[in-house]
């Protein structure tokens, strides 16, 4: 049996994706670039209000038995913390986490849509979306872990050495695939707090580009699509997703019109 490209494990509401020496790029809390053996997706309880997220991360990793990822109390954002594991937070239970693998890429997704972020192509004149009936004003502190009842989190790993712009572009490729999948399945492109983590192997075969027509980008699109669909089916067994046809408990509708002009 082939050795998995990234080793995944779930314990005590924490998903760990592990491959020694991985370089990571995260759009989530304390994000940016880092190098660590692991990345994490952590399910938080309803009403979660902790703000000391580095300490909370370490507590949850210790409870899960994932002590290899604890950062020893380093201050988030410090130079030393660049080797701390990228960590995402979500209100979605890890029982709904799903993975997909194709070629040099693996992707893991958790999908919750209680706070959809709608973008009407034809904004309503009165600032109220006809699709959702929701007021266009965004909630306070949208996107913070403490205010994220639903989130679409993606962790993507590639067994290639991505070029300088390829990792950043793979974030865009993954976000596009996520939006296309959710629009087709639920009528929404995402939520107010979605996040993506991308990992690559600095010692592997190089891949200078990661666009949709490349081996890495094409595989990532397929993996994200299939992992998101699988997590969505697990989370909403009856198909009653809180999309534009339902009354979502949280969410935002971008109904403002921007000024358009020639450069």
* pTM reported for the whole predicted model: 0.86
Between 106-115, 145-154, 189-198, 220-229, the lowest mean confidence (pLDDT) is in 145-154
C-alpha to C-alpha distance for 148 and 88, rounded to whole angstroms:
11
- State the pLDDT confidence band at 4, using cuts at 50, 70 and 90: low
C-alpha to C-alpha distance for 31 and 44, rounded to whole angstroms:
18
At 85-98, the pLDDT tens digits run 999 999 999 999 99
- Mean predicted lDDT score pLDDT of the chain: 85
Q: With contact defined as beta carbons under 8 Å apart, do 211 and 166 qualify?
A: no
At 13-71, the pLDDT tens digits run 999 999 999 999 999 999 999 999 999 999 999 889 999 999 999 999 999 999 865 44
With tokens 């020496």, the residue in question is 21
C-alpha to C-alpha distance for 142 and 28, rounded to whole angstroms:
13
Show me where the domains of the chain are located: 7-253
DSSP designation for 104 = T
At 147-167, the pLDDT tens digits run 556 799 999 999 999 998 999
81 versus 198: the higher-pLDDT residue is 198
State the chain's maximal CA–CA distance in angstroms: 59
């Amino acid at each position: 049996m082939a050795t998995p490209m990234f080793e995944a494990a779930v314990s005590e509401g924490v998903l760990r994706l592990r491959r020694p020496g991985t370089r990571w790029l995260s759009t989530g809390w304390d994000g940016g670039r880092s190098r660590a053996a692991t990345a994490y997706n952590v399910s938080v309880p309803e009403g979660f209000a902790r703000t000391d997220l580095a300490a909370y991360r370490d507590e949850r990793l210790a409870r899960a038995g994932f002590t290899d990822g604890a950062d020893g109390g380093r201050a988030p954002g410090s130079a030393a913390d660049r080797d701390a594991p990228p960590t995402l937070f979500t209100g979605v239970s890890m029982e709904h986490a799903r993975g997909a693998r194709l070629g040099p890429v693996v992707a893991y997704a958790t999908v919750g849509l209680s706070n959809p972020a709608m973008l009407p192509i034809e904004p309503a004149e009165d600032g109220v979306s006809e699709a959702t009936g929701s007021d266009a004003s965004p909630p306070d502190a949208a996107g913070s872990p403490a205010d994220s009842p639903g989130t679409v989190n993606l962790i993507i790993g590639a067994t290639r050495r991505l070029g300088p712009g390829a990792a950043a572009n793979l974030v865009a490729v993954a976000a596009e695939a996520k939006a296309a999948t959710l629009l087709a399945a639920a009528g929404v492109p995402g939520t107010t707090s979605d996040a993506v983590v991308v990992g690559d192997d600095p010692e592997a075969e190089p891949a200078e580009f990661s666009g949709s027509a490349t081996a890495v980008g094409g595989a990532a699109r397929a993996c994200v699509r299939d992992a998101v669909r699988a997590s969505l089916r697990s989370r909403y067994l009856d198909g009653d997703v809180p999309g534009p046809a339902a009354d979502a408990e949280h969410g935002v509708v971008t109904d403002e019109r921007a000024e358009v002009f020639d450069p």
